Amino acid sequence: MQSEHFYSRGKFLLTSEYLVLKGAKALAVPLKYGQSTEIISSQNTQSFECLSFENQKQWFKAIFDSNNLNIIETSEEKSALFIQKLLKAIKVLKPNLSFSKVSKIINKIDFNRFWGLGTSSTIINNLAQWAKINPYELHFSVSNGSAYDIAAANAENPFFYSLNQKTPKFEEIKWDIPFKKQIFFVYLEKKQNSEQSVNQFNKKQTFDSDVKKISDLTNELLNLKEFTKFAQILEEHESIIGNILQKQPIKQNLFSDFKGQIKSLGAWGGDFCMVISSQNSLYVKNYFKQKGFNTLFNYSEIVYEQNINE
């Protein structure tokens, strides 16, 4: 038997949520959490297993026919259908690839799969590495998202990302702001369906002026040294996206008495939000704990940065 291992990082999109699909420049970060994929090969298999683990505990199993990739059995149909769609897309992109020597595909995430950190994007990237195909092509064949999460899966540092006619532009940066200790990420206890959110957004009217303004705000963040200006940019960003979505920004909606600024990340209404405050970390943690939100990370606890001191 032969075994191959691949690993991809999770992600946060800090700016330009939704509008990145319209060409806006986005700021995103890779995370210290991610997913590993092990492909075990043997001789002439008729079927193969796909297993998924969350923090060492198995939560999913499916068996696929090696020839036609039909689902023979599964513990969860929705996840099995996604994996099947992914495997069939790989066959389209690489017709000479055979699954007849695959024995097992074992996926392991080291985070809560409901956090929305990239369970799907990391397996897309891992399987693309294994199949030796372009991960962006594989992404766009199975998803309507921007593919910034594919960039994050391979990133070593924060990065700018933009999309033009499904052509990604990716640039790693040194994001050296002096108040990272005052940036937190809070899980809002509700996983959002990204595909559904994108479909709803595509029905909204957007303007080039919005795309330009959000891109300008993203650029401003790179060399920002003033905390109050950072808070103002987040508030303005929330206002622009809120107007487009016709939704109230999260701070106004849920946390109006919070001493600081709060920005939605990704699909509004769930997953994580970014929080900044001039108050100490104890205030921030206690505030959200009293509101019933117990999963909170400081920036340095969750964001992966390799070259920040170089």
Provide CATH code, domain 2-171. Answer: 3.30.230.10
pTM: 0.93
Cβ atoms of 8 and 65 within 8 Å: the answer is no
Percentage, residues of the chain above pLDDT 70: 93
CA 273 to chain centre: 13
DSSP letters along 54-115, please?
A: ETTEEEEEEEEETTT--EEEES-HHHHHHHHHHHHHHHHH-TT---TTEEEEEEEESS-GGG
Average confidence score pLDDT of the chain: 92
Does position 75 have pLDDT exceeding 90, yes or no?
yes
Q: Which pLDDT belongs to residue 55?
A: 92
Q: How confident is the model at residue 161 (pLDDT cuts 50, 70, 90)?
A: very high
Residues sharing a CB contact under 8 Å with residue 156, sequence separation 6 or more, in sequence order: 30, 172, 304, 305, 306, 307
Specify the range with the lowest mean pLDDT, choosing from 48-52, 58-62, 172-176, 183-187: 172-176
Q: In whole angstroms, give the CA distance from residue 2 to residue 111.
A: 27
pLDDT of 28 > 90? The answer is yes
- Is the pLDDT higher at 269 or at 93? 93
Q: What is the pLDDT of residue 310?
A: 43
The domain 176-302 is classified under which CATH number: 3.30.70.890, 3.30.1330.10, 1.20.1070.10, 2.60.130.10? 3.30.70.890
Residue 205: the pLDDT is 60
Q: Which residue has the tokens 């193969």?
A: 48
- Is 199's pLDDT higher than 70? no
Confidence check: pLDDT of 162 > 60: yes
48 neighbors 154 (Cβ within 8 angstroms): no
User: Which whole-number Å values give the CA distances from 7 to 2, 55, 150, 186, in the listed order?
Assistant: 17, 15, 12, 25
Position 152 scores a pLDDT of 97
Residue 166 clears pLDDT 90, i.e. is over it? no
Strand partners, 235: none
Q: How confident is the model at residue 44 (pLDDT cuts 50, 70, 90)?
A: confident
Say whether pLDDT at 192 is over 60.
no
Whole-angstrom distance, CA of residue 134 vs CA of residue 142: 13
pLDDT digits (tens, 9 = 90+) for 205-252: 666 899 999 999 999 999 899 999 999 999 999 999 998 888 889 999
- Looking from the CA of 290 toward its CB, the CA atoms found within 13 Å total 9
Task: Return d(Cα 310, Cα 297) in angstroms, integer.
Answer: 24
**Domains of the chain by residue range:** 2-171, 176-302
pLDDT the model gives residue 42:
87
Predicted local confidence at residue 309, as pLDDT: 47
| Least confident among 151-155, 194-198, 255-259 | 194-198
Phi, psi of 42, rounded to the nearest 5 degrees: -145, -165
